Amino acid sequence: MINKLTALLVLFLSVAACAQQPEANRLAGLTRKDGFVPFYWDAKKGVLLFELSPQRMKEEFIYFTGLSSGIGSIQMFADRSSTGRSQLCRLLRSGPKVLVIAENTAFRAEQGSAELKHSVERSFPTSVIAALPIEAEQNEALIVNANPLVLRDVTGLMDQLRRPSRSTNGMIRPAEGGGSTWRLDEQRSAIDMDHTRGFPLNTEIENTLTFVSDSGGRTANTPESGVLTVHEHISLLPLPQGGYQPRAADERVGFFGEQFLDFSQSYKDPLDKHYIARWRLEKKDPTADSMKNGGFSHRPWPPWFHEESWKIA
pLDDT given at position 303: 40
DSSP one-letter code for 193: G
Higher pLDDT, 297 or 193: 193
pLDDT given at position 309: 45
Q: How far apart are CA 114 and CA 146, in angstroms?
A: 33
Q: How far apart are CA 247 and CA 203, in angstroms?
A: 29
pLDDT given at position 178: 61
pLDDT tens digits along 195-239: 999 999 999 999 999 999 887 555 678 888 889 899 999 999 999
pTM, two decimals, is 0.77
Q: What is the mean pLDDT of residues 97-104?
A: 96
pLDDT tens digits along 43-66: 999 999 999 999 999 999 999 999
pLDDT above 90 (res 247): no
* Residue 180 vs residues 58, 183, 184: alpha-carbon distances, Å: 39, 8, 12
Quick check: 209 and 189 in contact, CB under 8 A? yes
CB neighbours (10 Å) of residue 91? 19
Confidence band for 112, pLDDT divided at 50, 70 and 90:
confident
Distance of CA 148 to the CA centre of its chain: 12
pLDDT tens digits along 269-278: 888 888 888 7
pLDDT given at position 217: 53
* Helix (H/G/I), strand (E/B), else coil: 56: helix
With 0-12 / 13-18 / 19 or more C-beta atoms within 10 angstroms meaning exposed / middle / buried, residue 63 is: buried
* Helix (H/G/I), strand (E/B), else coil: 276: strand
pLDDT given at position 171: 63
